[in-house]
Structure 1
Amino acid sequence: MNTTATLTEPRPTTASVPTFPAHDPRIEVIGEMGPRYAEILTPEALRFLAALHDRFAGIRHDRLAARLQTRVDAANGRDPKFLPETAHIRAEPGWRVAGPGPGLEDRRVEITGPTDRKMAINALNSGAKVWLADQEDATSPTWQNVIEGQLSLLDALAGTLSYTSPEGKEYTVTHDIGGPDTPTIVMRPRGWHLVEKHLRFHDRAGRSMSASGSLVDFGLYFFHNATRLIELGSGPYFYLPKLEGHLEARLWNDIFGFAQDYIHIQRGTIRATVLIETIQAAFEMEEILYELREHCAGLNAGRWDYIFSIIKTFRSRGRRFVLPDRKQITMTVPFMRAYTELLVATCHKRGAYAIGGMSAFIPNRRDPEITERALEQVAADKRREATDGFDGTWVAHPDLIPTARAEFDLAFGERNNQLHRTRSEVSVTAAQLLDIGSIGGQVTESGVYGNVAIALRYIESWLRGIGAAAIDNLMEDAATAEISRSQVWQWVHENTVTAEGRRIDRAWLGEVLAQVAGGLTRFDGDRFDDAVEIFTTVALEAEFPTFLTVGAYARFL
């Protein structure tokens, strides 16, 4: 059965969008109202958020509870597996996903970045095919960032986005929104695990709870912009982060159906690309595509969070699961190679685009030699992806786009994708996805110091509201800090010995932490003391918090 959605039916214009009832008091605004916030937090938009929470908040909690059970199972020695109960889905040859959607036919280079005004303008002027407008890991979820990011997107789609820097430099979008020279916008909401504490939902039973960050980010963007996006020739498109299985994909699909019905647009108009960035999702790629098939455009290889997921899942399972220094975990090690090969083959089997991973390098214009060496590495990475059959890739800086595009242009020829390459020869086993021990490598003292330093510097930046932080010529986001702190936790837990013969224990890590913190350049308003406290909690305590951002958000933002 071919389930590809058609977009040929008439679509509503702005004038035909129905009117909505007044504000539903079950969504309460706790955060301070800043300039223009009322344009986003309208009574009608808040009623939509209330409807989303009324319908889906309970299911979200069920899915998060299922994650907890999965973690317990993994800790007790039960490995992820290809599900026998969904084997019929994997075996059925006929079904396909909806496909790219208008404006997503060519995704060979996508630029990622937060939604503040300056970064949004830079992304829209970058020449990339797609802009991943990131309300997730590249955005520190301060109340200001959450709502002003929505305002940036609203203004971008209205053609009025501009920014003047403190130094007086003016930034504007140089091409028409919706035109061939401006990227198609794909927005990434926060993951299911995060809440929005500045909005409270009061359910029908009288219980009060923080709103879901996922539903808030999705709901506000969709409600305000879906019709405008359709008018511009694209649509409401989303990247879905950190899914851990097909039932979470089913939840998103149900949300999409409800949302489209709510504003009276055709079902199938939404397009979603799912980040495969957990080991659990890697075993359910085909089922995730199936659940979202009416709305699905593709999958993405979320490489950094995938490594974090591997460490988190197997952190207490013995030394064969201990990974070496972060820089030694390349995309060509066996378990990462199996993951990307399976992703491309799965996508192309079902008509979905396979989007490659991030190149986080930031060119250093003061040091051309560093830039030249890094561009060579970027070209090699993108050449590997293009050769493997990926249909596009990510970069974090506009200067990387020509290098990345050249590799995909060469692979694509006259095409816009590589869906014709079915990769039917690929056969990836569970053992290959879980082949952590064969990576080899070493844990070094410099690797320990590097992890501590990167984590502290990123967390400090995040606490100041900067979620995409330039550190050592790389654009880092929350995934980098998560890998760094989780490796430290695992090394301590497993009594790992460095290549130099140093046993990694809490006492020595305390010394390392003090040394690194003492060597950081302090400045007025820095948050390094808080960063040290957070790092100590998430890396050196006996308990392992599943995400460092959950507790840090609750306490510090």
Structure 2
Amino acid sequence: MSAVLQDRPEPGTVDLTRSLPGQEALLTPAAQAFLAGLHVRFEGERQARLAARRTRQAAFDAGALPDFRPDTAPIRNGDWRVAPIPAALQDRRVEITGPVDPKMVINALNSGANCYMADFEDSTAPTWANLLAGQEALREAIKGTLEFTGDNGKAYALRPEAEQAVLIVRPRGWHLDEKHVLVDGQRLSASLFDLGLFCFHNAVALAAKDRGPYFYIPKLQSMEEAALWNAVLGDIEATLGLSHGQVKVTVLIETLPAAFEMDEILHALKDRIVGLNCGRWDYIFSYIKTLRRHRDRVLPERGQVTMVQPFLRAYSELLVKTCHRRGAHAMGGMAAQIPISGDDAANGAALARVRADKLREVTAGHDGTWVAHPALIPLAREVFDAHMPEANQVHIARDDVHAERDDLLRPSLGTISKAGFEGNVEVCVRYLAAWLDGNGCVPIHWLMEDAATAEIARTQLWQWLHFADDGHEPLHLDDGTPVDFALLERAFIGLPSKFNDQLRMPGASRINEAIGMLDRLTHADELADFLTLPAYERID
């Protein structure tokens, strides 16, 4: 045993606050000790990073703006590259994302996509049952034994391993706790639970197959948070006997502060990182949240905030330039559309929007893209195949891109319509009701909504409403109607007429609870950091 391992503090005492049949097969005494050791070694630094977030946000609320850090200029100006990218991740032109229930895992691995991001974060409601089912499904998939039979009797089974998408797992972010696992009476980090338990059971097997383990890392805001992940991954490698740098990660650039530290995040993880991803929906959410007190940077309604908005185009192109300069992949964002049945014209228009978005990505230099629905895989592949004949396009330098601070923060032109305001209310309520009922990925009006897209709607409502509430002149809809709490109340009253399918919609039994939560969140003097934080206390 190495001196590093010998010098580690003893793991803490673990208490599980829930018990479900079969969980002892996952949470063995050895697995619990492994998780407890991660907690003891890294919880203090996690809390320090979360405190730094609060301090930084207070400065933004007081009028400061995000910017490139003077103290890290040598990293940005230095001549360095990330470690070589494994063969299994050289071609990532189409990735499908989704939750981790057994049926989804099978369908995604069989989908024909290059990679499948198995998501414990924004598309999974983290009930204890969902988390354990997801961990078990992935473990069985890696062993090749995963099967599923639906209520209708339809059987699902995995294709041969050579035909499956490459598995990439997304744990929850640093800000979330796992309330069902206490270490010395303190909640375990949800990040450490998701990634740690997966590694404990699967890392050695995946390494033997030259398949990682591979992860997507969400919600980072700084290089210091990336460095914490790097330390955790190194610790896991040492504990499990893996070689240094065996674990590979892609980091989602989905917070506004992180956009100013892309070089630094790559550098902090340079032995393990293979790319950055344009997490566009969370990025829009973060733009609103970070600049919530800046009236001159209010975004228009959600449907108008597309990737052609100057601040989003600058972010996307800077990500490509930064990644390719460092030898890393620049992954594009999510197409949230799902096929529209029964309306060929509407479906054609939706697919045309997806095609245009993927064409924008590949011609900008992105090395791959995301889809939320298997039906979009052929379209995305067709676009990337036509414009990216090689496995990737890391060789495209994009030296023509010069994205400065003001480019990344540029205000957006647009309006707020009555339909846009009411649409935000409806999406928030419907998604939150489904999430409380255990469903974290919900089709609403032919878009696949997850926590990130719902957060855009929720934070927009809070920001729009609170400019008037703070004693300033209210914002107005495009028809001149003031955006105030009376408008919100009318939107709540009008919700039942929008729920004609209420008895069949996900979370129907929790609609009133969701309305009450959204009402409290929008009236609160301070914007809640995440919708899922108060909602998490209401699920099992």
Alignment TM-score > 0.5, same fold: yes
Give, in whole Å, the separation in 2 of the partners of 1:297 and 1:332. Answer: 26
Match of 2:60 in 1: 74
Secondary structure in 2 aligned to 1:88? Answer: helix
CA contact (8 A) 1:272 1:295 kept: yes
The answer to which of 503-512 and 384-393 deviates more is 503-512
Match of 1:14 in 2: none
Secondary structure in 2 aligned to 1:312? Answer: helix
Match of 2:234 in 1: 257
Match of 1:544 in 2: 527
CA contact (8 A) 1:300 1:357 kept: yes
Match of 2:322 in 1: 346
The alignment of Structure 1 onto Structure 2 pairs a total of residues equal to: 522
The answer to which of 498-507 and 147-156 deviates more is 498-507
Alignment of structure 1 residues 131-142 onto 2, 5 Å? 131-142=116-127
1:395 aligns with 2:375: no
CA contact (8 A) 1:455 1:480 kept: no
1:408 aligns with 2:384: yes
Secondary structure in 2 aligned to 1:379? Answer: helix
Match of 2:245 in 1: 268
CA contact (8 A) 1:260 1:267 kept: yes
CA contact (8 A) 2:127 2:539 kept: no
Match of 1:455 in 2: 428
Secondary structure in 2 aligned to 1:239? Answer: strand
Alignment of structure 1 residues 129-278 onto 2, 5 Å? 129-173=114-158, 175-177=159-161, 179=162, 181-202=163-184, 208-278=185-255
For residue 482 of structure 2, the aligned residue among 503, 508, 520 is 503
Match of 1:8 in 2: none
CA contact (8 A) 1:301 1:356 kept: yes
How many Å apart are 1:373 and its aligned residue? 1.7
Give, in whole Å, the separation in 1 of the partners of 2:47 and 2:244. Answer: 26
CA contact (8 A) 1:133 1:186 kept: yes
Letter in 1 for 2:400: E
**Deviations, residues 152-185 of structure 1 (Å, cap 9, x unaligned):** 1001001111111111111111x222x1x21110
How many Å apart are 1:24 and its aligned residue? 5.8
Question: TM-score, length-normalised on structure 1?
Answer: 0.92
Match of 1:3 in 2: none
Alignment of structure 1 residues 10-49 onto 2, 5 Å? 26-34=13-21, 36-49=22-35
Give, in whole Å, the separation in 1 of the partners of 2:84 and 2:218. Answer: 19
**Deviations, residues 95-122 of structure 1 (Å, cap 9, x unaligned):** 1112432411110000000000111111
How many Å apart are 1:232 and its aligned residue? 2.2
CA contact (8 A) 2:436 2:538 kept: no
For residue 75 of structure 2, the aligned residue among 89, 95, 120 is 89
**Deviations, residues 435-482 of structure 1 (Å, cap 9, x unaligned):** 12xx21111111101000011111111111111111111111001111
Question: TM-score, length-normalised on structure 2?
Answer: 0.95
The answer to which of 232-241 and 108-117 deviates more is 232-241
CA contact (8 A) 1:111 1:398 kept: yes
The answer to which of 534-543 and 155-164 deviates more is 534-543
Give, in whole Å, the separation in 2 of the partners of 1:295 and 1:197. Answer: 29
How many Å apart are 1:523 and its aligned residue? 2.9
Q: Which runs of 5+ in 2 are unaligned?
A: 468-473
1:376 aligns with 2:362: no
Match of 2:471 in 1: none
For residue 432 of structure 1, the aligned residue among 407, 410, 424 is 407
Match of 1:513 in 2: 492
Give, in whole Å, the separation in 2 of the partners of 1:369 and 1:552. Answer: 38
How many Å apart are 1:70 and its aligned residue? 0.8
1:493 aligns with 2:448: no
Match of 2:512 in 1: 529
Secondary structure in 1 aligned to 2:286? Answer: helix
CA contact (8 A) 1:316 1:493 kept: no
CA contact (8 A) 1:37 1:148 kept: no
Q: CA RMSD in A?
A: 1.5
Identity of aligned residues (%): 46
Give, in whole Å, the separation in 1 of the partners of 2:413 and 2:46. Answer: 39
Letter in 1 for 2:481: R
Q: Which runs of 5+ in 1 are unaligned?
A: 1-17, 203-207
Letter in 1 for 2:288: I
Secondary structure in 2 aligned to 1:106? Answer: coil
1:292 aligns with 2:277: no
Question: After the TM superposition, which segments of 4 or more aligned residues of structure 1 sit over 6 Å from their partners?
Answer: none
